[in-house]
Amino acid sequence: MDLEILWTPQAIKGFKRIINYLETHFSVKEKKRFLNDAFRFFEMIKVHPELLPKSSIKKNLYRGPINKYSVVVYRYQPRKKQIQLLSIRAARELDR
């Protein structure tokens, strides 16, 4: 089951914020490692969309780590065959 991944503006903003932070405070190697982890993770959820724990509050909402430094929240829409990335943030940021 290969699903389409859609990015919300909030997810794009969070992803860019992480990239900018890595560019400012870490090496190119660390940035590349994050990008590899992230895109490998996205490919994995395209095939296994229910990989992460499901929200007990909202239907079809999943939250969990991309790696030990970043967290993703996404909505799985099986009828539309889509995954909607809602939020990507550093794991140490507070929930907003």
Full DSSP string of 44-86: HHHH-TT-SPBPSSSTTEEEEEEETTEEEEEEEETTTTEEEEE
> How do residues 31-69 score in pLDDT, each as one tens digit?
999 999 999 999 999 999 998 999 888 889 999 999 988
pLDDT reported for residue 6? 97
Domains within the chain, CATH numbers bracketed: 4-91 (3.30.2310.20)
The token pair at 8 is 């919300």
Count CB neighbours of 44 within 10 A.
Answer: 12
Of the listed ranges 23-27, 42-46, 56-60, 72-76, the least confidently predicted one is: 56-60
Mean pLDDT for the stretch of residues 13-37: 94
The count of C-alpha atoms lying within 13 angstroms of the C-alpha of 94, restricted to the half-sphere facing its C-beta, is: 1
